[in-house]
Amino acid sequence: MADKKFREELIEASKGILNIELSIFANFDKLKHKIKFSIKRQFSQQVRDYYAKNRRIYKPIIQFFLMLAYLACIALVSALGLWLGGLLGRDTPGIILKITLGLACALADLFLAVLLVGTLDRFLSRYQSFRENKLAYIFISPAVFCLILLHFLPLLQGVWMSMLKLDQFTFSQYLGAPFIGLSNYKDIVLGLFNPESPVGFGFLKALRNTFFYALIVTFGTLGLGMIVAQMLNRAFKGRNILRGLFLFPWIVPTFVVGMLWGFMWQKENGIINIILYDILHLNVLLGWFGVAAEKPFWLMGDPLTLAAIIVPTIWRGWPHPMLMLLAGLQGISNDYFEAADIDGANGWRKFWYITFPLLKPVWAILLLFGLIFNVYAFNIVYMMFGNGAGFPGDWGDLMMVNIFRNSFQSWNFGAGAALSLILMTLMLIAVSFWYRFYRSAEEG
């Protein structure tokens, strides 16, 4: 009986809120006309004439501030609802009031959002592109809102964190930690060539390693993917089976790849050294050239470490460009190659003058994705060196691992945020150069 009574009270309260909101929507036009009439009656004729003459200047300004007011009202209503909801109890009347209050705030925010969208529509209607593509802008507006909410606001938080002294002593204060301005950036810049600086000097080495790592891995995966795509573009038996098998490295999660290759690179028990030195006897071959070669320590921080993290990354990443390039190859008409055969062109000339130019848009997209993914690479290196417990060394430390170590192992979150923003700025510069290449590829 109590549950039934509770549901009836809840339904009645909800109906009351809905009736109130419907009455507000129904009488909104009347209220708007009354307000306009009151404003016109109170304003003198001289002010109305001045506004009519300068309508094109002042109307966008009024609409802009009106949108800001709607946004402020939405935030205020939401904050007020959360505050009042926190004051209510957890008993049955309190729950009913919380649900009723939540519905009222949601409907009020919806009402204000409708007004905001209408004002935004009127604000943008003066632009020709918006008038022609109004429906498209309406459909992409939720995605733009989510991108702003999920990317722009955390970015602002990261900028603010980079200006705080946020370490193990002030972490409990979080965004209220002491403000130190650009001191974190100054420590990074001044420590670039100072071996005593764990942040600046480590950043310079990690930046060097990341540059070589991203460049070699990106072009390595693209080259290997292109070779395999050319092979799979031919018709032969078992081609579909090979396509499925070649996808296996890409299906394996990156942290599993890091763990497996970490065992494979071990000096005595690793399968790499067993194959190279115990089976193929690479040391004998090197001895012919006067090089005394022993089984190397691949993961000890020397230049071999960079090779040890590049190889598994290429092994794991090449199937993706292979699929993309194979799709591009299958979209090229055979008429081009038949005409080239008539002209006597060999395979290399057909690739360089037909295949490569027609695949430029695909190359451009893969180049962008490869650079971004490889610059922000983390899992493979993190897992290869003892689940993050070990230090990758001077030649194995990448930017994301360096940022992780400064932030979560050294508890220097302010410096970690500053390093992240510096890396993001460098990537924005790289992407701007990529955009020029992509635009020339599209025009070509």
Cβ-Cβ contacts under 8 Å for 210 (sequence gap 6 or more): 375, 398, 399
Report the C-alpha gap between 379 and 203 in whole angstroms: 19
So what's the pLDDT on residue 103? 79
296 backbone dihedrals φ, ψ, rounded to 5°: -85, 155
So what's the pLDDT on residue 133? 74
So what's the pLDDT on residue 375? 92
CB 100 within 8 A of CB 14: yes
Both 233 and 314 in one domain: the answer is yes
The answer as to whether 102 is a domain residue is yes
Tens of pLDDT along 224-244?
999 999 988 887 888 888 888
The answer as to whether 203 is a domain residue is yes
Angle at 25 between CA 24 and CA 27, to 5 degrees: 65
Question: What are the residue ranges in the chain where pLDDT is below 70?
Answer: 1-59, 63, 86-92, 94, 121-131, 196, 198, 286-293, 386-390, 440-444
Residue 12 sits in which domain range?
Answer: 2-132
Both 178 and 127 in one domain: the answer is no
CB 292 within 8 A of CB 302: no
* Residue whose C-alpha is closest to residue 403's, from 419, 388, 390: 419
Quote the tokens at residue 89: 């109890």
Report the C-alpha gap between 322 and 359 in whole angstroms: 12
So what's the pLDDT on residue 131? 65
pTM value is 0.69
Report the C-alpha gap between 127 and 298 in whole angstroms: 61
Both 181 and 122 in one domain: the answer is no
DSSP assignment letter at 176: G
Both 299 and 426 in one domain: the answer is yes
> How many domains does the chain divide into?
2
So what's the pLDDT on residue 443? 62
So what's the pLDDT on residue 19? 65
Both 215 and 78 in one domain: the answer is no
Task: Report the CATH number that the domain containing residue 409 is assigned in CATH.
Answer: 1.10.3720.10
Both 95 and 45 in one domain: the answer is yes
Strand partners, 164: 179
Both 322 and 217 in one domain: the answer is yes
Both 188 and 59 in one domain: the answer is no
Both 122 and 191 in one domain: the answer is no
The answer as to whether 163 is a domain residue is no
Both 345 and 421 in one domain: the answer is yes
Tens of pLDDT along 6-63?
566 656 666 666 566 556 656 666 666 666 666 555 555 555 555 555 556 556 777 6
Both 200 and 340 in one domain: the answer is yes
Both 124 and 178 in one domain: the answer is no
